[in-house]
Structure 1
């Protein structure tokens, strides 16, 4: 989450202490984002284990992500009242691990859904708390550390799902899930060790001055940007939900499914840097046109090309899927009052994460009735539809 000048003007910590804060935040981001995207690897397992439809599978995915989306703003509000929000982050990480442990033991789809909700509650604290800690620790020098923090999340998305796909070839489903629950608990303990000797980075302890930048409020442009982000998130989460089944339709193995997801996530990590550079060169509007049209075209390649060529295209597709969102986040500050950035970003993140949770359910209904190939085409068309609010945004900014 991005913070206003008010938050960034807090006095930085000592160098040793802020490095510990950054390390703990990166660990939290990698753990929670990795566990969240672990769901994609287990979707085919759950389908076979419980004989589920695509609609129910999408509901299970949404149980995690929608809980995360809905509770993110309340979690941030609670953290702002705490002198040491590190304790909330550590406890929430333990809760996430407990949810996964329960999920591994679940013998019914209802219990599995409850377990995913429990993990989603724990995951809802990570983004607002960890990013705020890094911002306050580094003050006005926080841009690069926040970049490292964001990259850590993509690293977790790359490593944890890939590891699960490999482990499922040697261990049972229950043993694999239990191992990842242990990873979450170990992460919480390591965060506790890092925070124990660091300086207080809580919002309640921060002393700072009001922001001094002039407001640039443009509500129509902001809501057009929000609509763009919502559609873009729907494309990203919809494609990831059905990617394992596209690979299976190509005759791919479980290991190749894990490889496919890893290639997408690695491309996504690179895309955050590449799209930022591209935006500076081409401008935001042209960049979004390139990435959204490129996304639609590459989804077609993955859908109809042979498996080898589809895997080859996935890193570039991942870069466009994930990199575009960074362009949107950077544009929020251009169209809202600088004193209301926290609220604007809360609305924006809730909208995009909520879309990522609900869109797969709608796609799942289509997939159940018309098949994987048809619903994937619908996902690609949604990427093209994203250009409509982009043009509205462009017209409002020019006014």
Structure 2
């Protein structure tokens, strides 16, 4: 899939945009990999420090909480400091956190180190998303979908690399190697990424674009993002139990989850492009309606046909997110793009943490099948919200 900045842009501008997307994609892969490699290390830490499951969850929560909680402050800081500087500092800080984790002598030091690394990763989503948005302008939907997809590459590659390194060296040395990779990425940002600028420099431009920015639509976009994440996390919570009830085994569950994630990566890659071509409303209606229909199909079908549908379900589950990310800049003044992305990511990450708990309570009360049906109903609830959002969007203003 080719990515163009627009026919009116010059070759240097296209090269600058390509460099921005390449470097931010590399950085996204690193930070998302940093986030998920913790899952690989939890059993190692349990064995070494004798931790309970509650403390293991706390370690994961310290990283995720710092990352989610600091994104809005980072977005505000980016209005006064060049985002490139913040991105370099955040990536270096995330790497330093893993250096300190590798050197820690106990659970307290390990927890503080993970919180520090999570704080560094809080810079990545709002700053990098805004950088890609500004680099490509009105043609940013497709590139933002590619940027979104690179995070999935990191989630697959870095935990796998961690597992290999743990075979040949201790977990402490493994973290030092991974931290060194992070420092290399920070150097790449410093050397090759074009300057992003600070939001305050765009206030004049924002005033000129005021008529084209319908900020009233952002709450609809945020609500859709929160519910879309809830559907995805809720369904994945129950999927292993549903397959076991159909006669699946633990290896089958592993295969099934892999198929969902492969489809999800493909959905992130393609749906940003699709949203640019056919509009946000049509794409969201397709992905959310498809999600609801495929969830019901997985519930109704026997084991093998249900597994066959999982890659397509993964496309639908994850595809909406790329469309939503690509819509954030359209609803935001240029000098507040980082703040808008920070708020959006905070809402979706928070939903990812809370939704499994709420659906879990529903599963305890009604059983996993009905709780999974509730996720399909939630997907359908998104459709009227998408219609409301479309009234505020340029690409859907004639079709809403």
Q: TM-score, normalised by structure 1?
A: 0.72
Q: How many residues get paired?
A: 379
Q: Which residue in 2 is equivalent to 1:350?
A: 346
Q: Is the 8 A contact 1:232 1:383 kept in 2?
A: yes
Kindly indicate whether residue 355 of structure 2 is the aligned counterpart of residue 359 of structure 1.
Answer: yes
CA distance in 1, matches of 2:226, 2:147: 23
> Any conservation in 2 of the 1:303–1:373 contact (CA below 8 Å)?
yes
The counterpart of 2:258, out of the listed 256, 262, 268, is 262
Partner in structure 2 of residue 159 of structure 1: 157
Query: How far off is 1:232 after superposition?
Result: 0.8
For the Cα contact (< 8 Å) 2:75–2:339, is it kept in 1? Answer: no
Structure 1: tracts of 5 or more residues without a match: 1-8
- The question of 1:253 aligning with 2:247 is answered no
Could you tell me how far apart the structure 2 residues matched to 1:288 and 1:346 are? 22
Aligned equivalent of 1:237, options 224, 227, 233 = 233
Between the aligned partners of 1:47 and 1:305, the Cα distance in structure 2 is 38
Which residues of structure 2 form unaligned runs of 5+?
A: 1-8
Superposition pairs of residues 79-228 of structure 1, within 5 angstroms:
79=78, 81-82=80-81, 84-95=85-96, 97-98=98-99, 117-132=115-130, 148-161=146-159, 181-182=175-176, 184-195=178-189, 197-198=191-192, 201=195, 203=197, 210-211=205-206, 212-228=208-224
Q: Assess, with a 3 A threshold, how the Cα gap between structure 1 residues 127 and 301 changes in structure 2: closer, same or farther.
A: same
Contact 2:19 2:194 in 1 (8 A): no
Q: Does the aligned pair in 2 maintain the 1:244–1:257 contact within 8 Å? A: yes
Equivalent position of 1:285 in the other structure:
281
Q: Which residue of structure 1 lines up, in the alignment, with residue 25 of structure 2? A: 26
Which SS does the other structure have where 2:195 is aligned? coil
Partner of 1:5: none
**Equivalent position to 1:390, from 373, 386, 391:** 386
**Residues 140-192 of structure 1, C-alpha deviations (whole Å, 9 max, x = no match):** 9977765543332121233345667x769x959x96x6576345313213214
CA gap of 1:276–1:88, structure 2 versus 1, over 3 A, is closer
Q: 1:52 to 1:245 in 2, by over 3 A?
A: farther
User: Secondary structure at the residue paired with 1:386?
Assistant: helix
When normalised by structure 2's length, the TM-score is: 0.72
The verdict on how the C-alpha distance between 1:308 and 1:58 changes in structure 2, with shifts beyond 3 A counting, is farther
User: 1:300: how far off?
Assistant: 3.4
Contact preservation (8 Å) 1:58, 1:360: no
Determine which structure has greater relative contact order: mean sequence separation of CA pairs < 8 Å that are 6+ residues apart, divided by chain length.
1
Task: Report how far residue 286 of structure 1 moved.
Answer: 3.3
Q: 1:346 to 1:192 in 2, by over 3 A?
A: closer
Please give the alpha-carbon distance, in whole angstroms, between the structure 2 residues aligned to 1:20 and 1:220.
Answer: 33
| Deviation by residue 1:109-132 (Cα, 9 ceiling, x = unmatched) | x99876764543232121233345
> Would the aligned equivalents of 1:102 and 1:115 in 2 still touch at CA under 8 Å?
no
